[in-house]
Amino acid sequence: MQSPPSLRRLLLPAVLLALGAGVPAQEAEAKRAFEDIQKEYDVEFRELRKAAEGLSQTDATALFNEFAATILPEFLERTAVVARAEGASPLAFDAWNRIVLQATSIAPMAEASKTLVSEALDALLAGHLASKALGNVVASLRYSTSALGDEPVLRFAEELGRRSQITEVRAEARFAHAAVLAAERAPGDPRVRQGLEELAAIEREFGELVASNGRTHGENARGLRFELENLAVGQPCPDFSAVDAEGVAFKLSDYRGKVVLIDFWGFW
Amino acid sequence: MLPHEKALVQRLQNKPFALLGINNDGTAAEVLPRFKKEGITWRNAIEPSENSLATQWNVSGYPNLYLVDAEGKIREHWLGSPGDEVLDRKIDELVAEALAKK
C-alpha cells in the first residue's frame, strides 16, 4: 500500500537523515559504490540468464563461459577496489565474501578471478577472523573446488579451523577440510584416509553441535562417511526400508530385477 | 523434473523400471493431497523427521538421483538433474540390459 504523498514527503528526508546519522561520509560513499556495482552485476547476470534461455546446453554453457572469462573478472576487480580501501570493516567483509561467491559461481574460472579469490580469502583471514559468518563462507567454499581447485579451499579451511576462536566456525572449517580431502578420489589415495580420520575426529569433538545446514556435525560426518564408503558408483546399493504415502512399508530390495531411479526430491 | 518424470513412468510402465521418490516435505497426511493434485502416482517414501534416509545418505540438495540397475548395483549418481536426455538414455540402457539378461 502506498502512503499518501504528503506523508511520503515528510518521511523521506527523515529516513535519509537516519541512514546518514553517525556514518562517516566516506564509508557511506563506499557502501553506495559497492551497492551500485552489485546492482549492475545483478542486471548483467539477469540478462545473461535470459539470453541463455532456450539455447541448447552447449550454447548456454559457451555463453556462461564467455561471461566468466570477460565480464565477471571486471566486476570482481571493481568490488576488490572497494574492499581494499575498507580494511577490516563489515563492508569489506561483505565485499570480499561477494567476490568469493560470484567468482566461484561459474566453472572454469578466469585466472584473474582465481587471483582475486586468493586475495579475498587472505583478507578474510587477516581482517575478519573474529567473524562468525566465516563459518558460512567456508561451508559454501567446500562446494567450489571444481571451479577453484582443492588447494585454495584446503589452505583456507585449515587455517580457519586452527585459528578461529569461535567453535562453530572451527567446526565448519574442519568439516570442509575433511570433506575436500576425502571426496571423489581413487580409493588408494592417502588423502581419502586422512579425510575419513578427520571426519571421525569431528564426530567426537563436535558431534552434537548444529552445523550451517541444520543437521549436527555428527550427522554430517556420519553421512559423508557413509556416502564415501557405501554409495560410490559401481557398489551394490545399500538396502533401506521406508513407508510410502499410503502407509505401506517397503524395501529397496523388493525391486530386485528392476532398474530403479531413487529420487530425493522436494516441492520447494 | 515433474513433467518429465510423469512421461518416464508412463513410457516405461510395462518395462522393468521403477521410479522411487524419497520425499521430505512432511507427513503422509500433509503431502498426499499434494501428490494427488500434482498427479504423482509413483511410490514415494515419506521421510521421518528423525534419522531420515537423506541424512543417512548425506543428501544435501534436491534433486539427488541414484540410478540402480536390476542387480542392485549403483550405476549413476547425480547431484542435480543431468537433463532429461541423459536421464532417458541411461535408464533406457539399463532397462535394455535387464531385458537382455532375462
Enter the DSSP assignment of A143.
G
From B10, B2, B24, B12, select the one nearest B95 (Cα to Cα): B12
Confidence tier at A23 by pLDDT (50, 70, 90): low
Complete DSSP assignment for A199-257: HHHHHHHHTTSB-TTSSBHHHHHHHHHHHHHH-STTSBPPP-EEEBTTS-EEEGGGGTT
B84 touches chain A (CB under 8 A): no
pLDDT by residue (tens digit) across A85-111? 998 999 999 999 999 999 999 989 999
- Chain B residues with CB under 8 Å of A253 CB are 72
Cα-Cα end-to-end distance for chain A: 29
pLDDT by residue (tens digit) across A199-215? 999 999 999 999 999 99
- Find the CB nearest B68 among A237, A266, A267: A237
C-alpha cell at A219: 550427522
- Chain A residues with CB under 8 Å of B59 CB are 264
**Residue B84 buriedness (CB in 10 A; 0-12 / 13-18 / 19+):** middle
pLDDT per residue of chain B (102 residues) written in tens, 0 to 9: 788 999 999 999 999 999 999 999 999 999 999 999 999 999 999 999 888 999 999 998 899 999 999 999 999 999 999 999 999 999 999 999 999 987
Residue to test with chain B: of A57, A261, A267, A268, most B Cβ within 10 A: A261
- Whole-model pTM: value is 0.82
